[in-house]
Structure 1
């Protein structure tokens, strides 16, 4: 399993280039790296890349996140469905990762409540697994079957007080995992993300996310004053690693692998 990392906003100027270094397979894991906000730009940990505004939608570039988020309010529930695509693992590519997930927080604050799946490559060897995380606690592996091509639905809900419920269902294999955990958090964003948590993005083709809703509403419907819909793509240096499509039906999108980064 690839180690995931987190860079707090206050440490950003001291942590350039430090966000997501690969560790040996099945190493202990930290938190998934997240977006931060600073000045007039959205800032991915380790880099300041910039954005383009289109109405209430912002196109952001990150060194490790692609997908969609909504900000500008307090959110209770995020849910999405995705496919855990097959990873193409070859001996010359080293350690790579692709991790689709859904969650609350982490775009501009210091906690992340999330559940998802991953395929990591260590050379030609692949590792598929499911997980959840309540940062600043580390990643917890879900001991259930995960195969290439499986369909997953994840939901993260702030139920009451400091309690969050995380539910992950493998729609293909027929299992559901549910856990409740406590964390003091702000609920300031909700997101469905394809993350690169290693030095490079595992080759995965095109991956669909469907039914991304926040508090029971399609993410694209958050067009009111104060809300911002964040469309994210992974870019390292001048290389665009993957692309994120426009929303269809206000709740569906795809991420597409483009380049090794």
Structure 2
């Protein structure tokens, strides 16, 4: 069992690709496509953060305290797609590293049948995730935040300042641990394990803050993504305590 569970809904493309049969569905951001509203695939924090590596996370995770807010900006990267399917997600959130609850919001950049697919979403695990229907394109500038009053009330915000749309989601989760805060690029997982990581080249996070202060003030762990001796993505050091990048290396 993974250390923490995160976002579902990468659509039936993931499952069908791994099974090698059927005509894969595609996310609703493409014309005439039907979204899949069940958790076919999931994102996981597959390993404890040991020696700065994880099987499917790259970025920064702050633990060892009580966390009530996290925020960051990023520019949606473009993915380079080969014939095979691949997936990548970019998000900020509370919990998920050493706790069983998740309060996260972000964007996706996937490859389906050789074509790029871009989307956005939020999750309050253990509830199913929700996908926004707004257009997402490479180069869009996003701002995101997750905040809580510490008593079970959460506000999750995602804004595409390039296209002018925004979502403010108010939810309740009484048993939230508030044990971590993250700014992450991720390789999603299916029922069969971590999925191939889409080639997003570089994603740059800026103005990252935790509990109202710079991300660096929270003394977070730097995480590189690596599995079976293969480095999949690396994380840069923090600049000014708030800015960093994650660079893709391998599927």
If the length of structure 2 is used for normalisation, what is the TM-score?
A: 0.82
Match of 1:61 in 2: 53
Among 69, 72, 78, the residue aligned to 1:86: 78
Say if 2:102 is the partner of 1:112. yes
Say if 2:205 is the partner of 1:209. yes
Per-residue CA deviations over 1:31-68 (Å, capped at 9, x if unaligned) read 5312554xxxx3xxxxxxx31xxxxxxxx211110100
Change (3 A) 1:10 1:177: closer
**Contact kept in structure 2, 1:62 and 1:236, CA below 8 Å:** yes
The 2-side partners of 1:63 and 1:36 are apart by 6
The 2-side partners of 1:103 and 1:204 are apart by 21
Residue 89 of structure 1: CA displacement?
1.1
Residue 161 of structure 1: CA displacement?
2.1
**Contact kept in structure 2, 1:159 and 1:165, CA below 8 Å:** no
Match of 1:124 in 2: 114
Match of 2:86 in 1: 96
The 2-side partners of 1:254 and 1:64 are apart by 16
The 1-side partners of 2:213 and 2:3 are apart by 29
Say if 2:133 is the partner of 1:143. yes
Match of 1:250 in 2: 241
The 2-side partners of 1:129 and 1:84 are apart by 10
Q: Give SS of 1:73's match.
A: coil
Per-residue CA deviations over 1:143-166 (Å, capped at 9, x if unaligned) read 211111111111001135211110
Change (3 A) 1:205 1:145: same
Change (3 A) 1:10 1:176: closer
Say if 2:151 is the partner of 1:161. yes
Q: Give SS of 1:79's match.
A: strand
The 2-side partners of 1:205 and 1:100 are apart by 13
Structure 1 residue runs without a partner (length 5+): 1-6, 12-20, 43-49, 52-59, 223-227
Among 206, 213, 219, the residue aligned to 2:215: 219
Change (3 A) 1:170 1:8: same
CA RMSD of aligned residues (A): 2.0
Residue 9 of structure 1: CA displacement?
4.3
Structure 2 residue runs without a partner (length 5+): 6-12, 17-25, 28-35, 190-194
Size of the alignment, in residue pairs? 219
Match of 2:8 in 1: none
**Contact kept in structure 1, 2:4 and 2:97, CA below 8 Å:** no
